[in-house]
Amino acid sequence: MKLVVAIVRPEKATEVLEALFRADVQGVTLSRVQGHGGETEKVETYRGTTVKMELAEKVRFDIGVSDHFVEPTVRAILAAARTGDVGDGKVFVLPVEKIYRIRTGEEDRAAVTPVQVVAAGRA
Amino acid sequence: MDRPTLVPADTAWMLVSTALVLLMTPALAFFYGGLVRSKNALNTMMMSVAALGFVGVAWAALGYSLAFGEGSWFLGGVSRAFLSGVGLEPQGTIPQLLFMAYQGTFAIVTAALVSGAVVERMRFGPYLAFITLWSLAVYAPVAHWVWGGGFLARMGALDFAGGTVVHINAATAAFVAAVTIGQRKDYARQAILPHNVPFTLLGAGLLWFGWFGFNAGSALAANGTAALAFVNTMLAPAGTLVVWTVLDLLRSGKVTAVGAATGIVVGLVAVTPAAGFIGPMPAIALGMVAALPSYFALVYRARTRLDDSLDVVAAHGLGGTVGALLTGVLAAKSWNGSVDGLLHGNPGQLGIQALGVLAAIAWSGVASYVLLAAIGLVTSLKVDRREEGLGLDVSQHGEEAYADDQGAILILPREGTAAPAAVPALAAAAAEAGRS
């Protein structure tokens, strides 16, 4: 089991999500974060005050996956989040010791395998 | 005719009306600004705000003369350029200088309306050039045709406050601009949602308030016609809002706030050409009828490739056309003292109205395209994809609507003050490691 952490551009977040869904990756946590990478800073001016904005808005995906899902997940993110410019972000793949599904208490691989959605849940 | 004299009551009302119409441009900034994504909010609002300056100056320098100076059937002259001969002498019953200012507020808001079709992608410099030239080359001639003694005025076309001059004219230019400049990169690929619907409602409310000056002020006097136009400006959008609400309910079972704001504006647009010519109950009917084409055009447009981002064509083009045509149907001599429409036995008026609409579409379409193509030869009209992704607030203005001071490092005016070096060093280390 791995935890895939991806930091991407906010304007690419929707595309990444769509790519993940197309790759059958359904369990995703998303947060808005700020970070600094290699991108050129933005200079902004408000009346007499000029500032360098050193933190850029990013979106962070946290995705727990079983081993054979790591590659499709990473490939989906790389393809969907890339613009080719500095600032496209990073993907980290981390080892995971243990995973529990809170609802059922299932562990590890069973915990990150999507359940069949009950018809009533979608209605 | 008596020798013209200044009437204090008329002058007072027109002073107020001028201020009311000027308010419509910042109101439009809020209306449009709420409808775009937060990264483009300032850019969108600045497109309206900038018109206050650039079109305002162009109007005083040349636009007023081209629209209202002595001239031909097509265009006024340059006799009043730089306000020469525009003083405190009566124009009707108000000082000509005030008349000039009042008309100037119309030119400003008309140019700003066009921006709705090009938001979130047009470069700001070319935009400024476009609206400035557009106010002279497109707005001024059409205003001359209808209000300055040009050919539509001589034919008897009715356009009380500018359904054709303002709304059809702006919507045609908006259509041409949207096609010429092209779609936003995310259009029809991603959901593009309004970032602040309360702004849009605020803008719609302020537009309605300002529109009392726009329509009732177009009587150019504090008289019964002004009262009629004022009341129609209250009632017609009310009718549109009711029908819009019902359509929302029928279509999705929910009444939307963006829909309500849009419905109000469509009603205001539709009653504009008719305001001083039709009775109050017909005005409600006009407002109700006007909801239908605009509503369905909005729904349809979103499925097409035309990225008229804020639906200038559906709201102002169709609303203005319905208003102009229905003016030819509903005009009543019993209210306006001069002209009847189709319903009162004068079917010819409808034809004249239609001709006015077509003339405005033809001129605005061709001339707007020529202007955009000419500017496009000199410089690019559209930001690149990277800037579009970043948002036009930062790329065009170097500001953010909702700036966060976390990570904002002050650039001190004096050179040599040590900027924090730690962070760039980290970046350099990352680059050294061979990753981007």
ipTM of predicted complex: 0.77
Which residue range is the domain that position B164 belongs to?
Answer: 8-221+341-390
| Residue B350 included in any domain | yes
If pLDDT is split at 50, 70 and 90, which confidence band does B22 have? Answer: very high
Which chain B residues have a beta carbon less than 8 Å from that of A13? Answer: none
If pLDDT is split at 50, 70 and 90, which confidence band does B436 have? Answer: very low
pLDDT in tens, A3-20: 999 999 999 999 999 999
Task: Quote the number of domains for chain B.
Answer: 1
| Residue B95 included in any domain | yes
Cross-chain CB nearest to A55 (options B394, B406, B430): B406
- Residue of B411, B426, B435 best to disrupt the A interface, most CBs of A under 10 A: B411
**Three-class SS state of A49:** strand
| Residue B34 included in any domain | yes
Which chain A residues have a beta carbon less than 8 Å from that of B403? Answer: 44, 46
| Residue B45 included in any domain | yes
User: Per DSSP, what are the bridge partners of residue A35?
Assistant: A56
Residue-range domains of chain A with CATH: 2-97 (3.30.70.120)
Q: What is the pTM of this model?
A: 0.89
Residue contact A85–B386, C-beta within 8 A: yes
Return mean pLDDT, chain B: 93
Instruction: Read off the CATH number of the domain in which B74 is found.
Output: 1.10.3430.10
Q: How does A5-29 read in b/e, with b if 16+ C-beta sit within 10 Å?
A: ebbbbbbbbebbbebbeebebeebe
B192 interfaces chain A, CB cutoff of 8 Å: no
Chain A / chain B CB contacts < 8 angstroms = 63
Q: Give B231: exposed, middle or buried? Use CB within 10 Å, 0-12, 13-18, 19+.
A: middle
- For residues B218 and B162, the answer to whether their CB atoms sit within 8 Å is yes
| Residue B143 included in any domain | yes
| Residue B430 included in any domain | no
Which chain A residues have a beta carbon less than 8 Å from that of B399? Answer: 44-46
A116 interfaces chain B, CB cutoff of 8 Å: no
pLDDT at position B425 over 70: no
pLDDT in tens, B225-238: 999 999 999 999 99
User: Per DSSP, what are the bridge partners of residue A31?
Assistant: A60
pLDDT at position B56 over 50: yes
**What is the distance in angstroms between the Cα of A31 and the nearest Cα belonging to chain B?**
17
pLDDT at position B325 over 70: yes
Residues B35, B312: Cα–Cα separation, whole Å? 13
| Residue B282 included in any domain | no
For strand B94-95 and strand B90-91, is the pairing parallel, antiparallel, or unpaired?
antiparallel
| Residue B193 included in any domain | yes
pLDDT in tens, A33-65: 999 888 777 888 888 788 888 888 999 999 999
Residues B144, B59: Cα–Cα separation, whole Å? 13
Residue contact A51–B411, C-beta within 8 A: yes
